């Protein structure tokens, strides 16, 4: 018998899934084409000039003029690490709004500095009350307030302006996790005066995973410069990483060159569509999805529509339906991947992502039809065809203002 080392390994042929997860999203073919371009050195003059394109596009998508704006060579979690570790020294006090798995990750990173972390915590599926944040910080020297704009573990979105006002009263920096919202949900870094804002390449930007765009305000830069001691992470120290992304282009590390190609092309697609048009596309498709889910008799996990994250919809798994078999059928029969719940929500919700290239009308209608068949096969009684009919009615209603305007 041949040993495992002697067995022939065949060509890599991954399935072409429809990615309706909280991330990664499906990737536009034009982004794949960009990744097939030849590798050049990361100090090559052509490449360092191309980096300017990436930064200029990122500023437009973040809606900022911040000098310190670039993609970190890391996942979105690397963005959390950079945004928390750079402004905080050991012993600094900060507040983190915790309402899910990823906002909790922000608190954990701050605790490891170690900073003095005040967690203002609510159950998954609820927004943190800004008044509670203000009460928690009164009489303290709070250096930053951190929150997750769109919490993908529960499908909740928080209004940044409320926390900016609280941070102002406390004299604190505002750190915002926009991993699930950048390019899919309205976000204005300069207008909302966010000091540290980071995202991920694999969500609404629709590039492959592995890059974490970040932008830092002038006040944030000044905080980094005034640190008492070096940032405890060498890799995520923005003051040295920016030497490479700054005008001098000094060597810091070897970046993922093909992922930067992908980022450039994905951002180009975002800006060709236009931010407002892209936000509206995400809103329209999510509303159709919600209409279809409710027509099946399913209940959304986040009860208040104003608190629902547009890019990731959390729906309660109906009684009598088991999570793994249903998702397995969607994958094997329809080639569609969605996600289950995390932590306390494991086995209780499904999380359906409509982000970037995945966020298309045809995908919404296909998914609703596939889910209807899957639930019916699993023994759940529901009105046949109601989901797609409700979604189509939602699309028709969304188009009516445009049609009325065209008749004038």
Number of domains in the chain: 2
378 and 359: one domain?
yes
234 and 287: one domain?
no
DSSP 153-195: TTTEE--HHHHHHHHHHHT-EEEEE-TTTTTTS---TTTTT-S
171 and 301: one domain?
no
88 and 62: one domain?
yes
Mean per-residue pLDDT for 27-39?
97
Band (pLDDT 50/70/90 cuts) for residue 403 is: low
Q: How far is CA 306 from the centre of its chain?
A: 18
The answer for 193, left when phi > 0, alpha when psi is -120 to 50, beta otherwise, is left
Number of Cβ within 10 Å of residue 283's Cβ equals 18
Mean per-residue pLDDT for 314-335?
97
Query: Could you tell me which of 211, 173, 215, 172 has the C-alpha nearest to residue 190?
Result: 215
| Confidence (pLDDT) at 246 | 86
Asked whether residue 10 is domain-assigned, the answer is no
Instruction: Tokens for 18, please give them.
Output: 């429809």
Share of the chain above pLDDT 90, in %: 92
| Confidence (pLDDT) at 241 | 86
Pairing of the two strands 116-121 and 150-151: unpaired
| Confidence (pLDDT) at 405 | 58
Asked whether residue 388 is domain-assigned, the answer is yes
Residue 58: asked if its preceding bond is cis (omega within 30°), the reply is: no
Least confident of 23-32, 293-302, 319-328, 394-403: 394-403
| Confidence (pLDDT) at 1 | 52
Asked whether residue 299 is domain-assigned, the answer is yes
200 and 325: one domain?
no
Strand partners, 333: none
Summarised one tens digit per residue, pLDDT across range 190-228 is 999 999 999 999 999 999 999 999 999 999 999 999 998
Pairing of the two strands 156-157 and 150-151: antiparallel
Mean per-residue pLDDT for 38-51?
94
| Confidence (pLDDT) at 111 | 98
To which H or E segment does residue 390 belong? helix 386-407
- List the CATH number of the domain containing 351: 3.90.1150.10
201 and 340: one domain?
no
145 and 55: one domain?
yes
328 and 244: one domain?
no
339 and 364: one domain?
yes
Band (pLDDT 50/70/90 cuts) for residue 242 is: confident
The pTM (predicted TM-score) of the whole model is: 0.94
Band (pLDDT 50/70/90 cuts) for residue 3 is: low
Q: Assess contact for 220 and 173: CB atoms under 8 A.
A: yes
Q: Given 246, 271, 296, which residue is the final one in a domain? A: 271
Q: Given 271, 304, 335, which residue is the final one in a domain? A: 271
Number of Cβ within 10 Å of residue 370's Cβ equals 19
| Confidence (pLDDT) at 4 | 58
Looking at the predicted structure, is the pLDDT value of residue 408 above 80? no
| Confidence (pLDDT) at 407 | 54
203 and 345: one domain?
no
Q: Given 271, 290, 323, which residue is the final one in a domain? A: 271
Q: How far is the CA of 71 from the CAs of 28, 55, 282, 307, in angstroms?
A: 19, 8, 23, 29
155 and 48: one domain?
yes
Domain limits for position 332: 275-399
């Amino acid at each position: 018998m041949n040993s495992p080392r002697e067995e022939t390994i065949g060509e890599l042929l991954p399935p072409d899934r429809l990615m309706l997860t909280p991330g990664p999203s499906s990737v536009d073919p034009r982004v794949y084409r960009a990744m097939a371009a030849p590798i050049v050195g990361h100090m090559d003059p052509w490449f360092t000039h191309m980096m300017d394109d990436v930064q200029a596009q990122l500023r437009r998508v973040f809606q900022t003029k911040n000098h310190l704006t670039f993609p970190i060579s890391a996942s979105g979690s690397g963005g959390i690490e950079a945004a928390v570790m750079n402004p905080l020294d050991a012993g600094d006090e900060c507040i983190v709004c915790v309402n899910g798995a990823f906002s909790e990750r922000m608190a954990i990173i701050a605790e490891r500095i170690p900073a003095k972390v005040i967690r203002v915590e609510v159950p998954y599926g609820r927004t943190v009350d800004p008044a509670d944040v203000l009460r928690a910080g009164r009489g303290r020297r709070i250096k930053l307030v951190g929150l997750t704009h769109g919490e993908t573990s529960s499908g909740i979105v928080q209004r940044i302006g409320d926390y900016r006002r609280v941070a102002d009263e406390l004299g604190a920096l505002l750190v915002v996790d926009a991993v699930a919202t950048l390019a899919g949900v309205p976000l204005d870094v300069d207008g909302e005066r966010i000091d540290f804002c980071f995202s991920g390449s694999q969500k609404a930007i629709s590039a492959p995973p592995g890059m974490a765009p970040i932008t830092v305000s002038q006040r944030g830069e000044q905080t980094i410069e005034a640190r008492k001691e070096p940032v405890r992470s060498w890799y995520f120290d923005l003051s040295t990483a920016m030497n490479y992304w700054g005008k001098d282009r000094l060597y810091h590390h070897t970046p993922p060159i093909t992922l930067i190609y992908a980022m450039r092309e994905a951002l180009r697609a975002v800006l060709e569509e236009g931010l407002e048009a892209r936000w509206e596309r995400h809103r329209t498709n999510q509303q159709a999805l919600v209409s279809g889910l409710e027509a099946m008799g399913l209940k959304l996990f986040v009860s208040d529509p104003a608190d629902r994250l547009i890019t990731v919809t959390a729906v309660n798994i109906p009684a009598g339906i088991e999570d793994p078999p249903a998702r397995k059928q969607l994958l094997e029969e329809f080639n569609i991947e969605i996600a289950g719940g995390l932590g306390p929500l494991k086995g209780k919700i499904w999380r359906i992502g409509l982000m970037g290239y995945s966020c298309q009308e045809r995908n919404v209608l296909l998914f609703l039809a596939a889910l209807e068949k899957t639930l019916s096969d699993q023994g759940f009684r529901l009105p046949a065809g109601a989901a797609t009919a409700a979604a189509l009615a939602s699309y028709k209603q969304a188009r009516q203002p445009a049609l009325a305007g065209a008749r004038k």
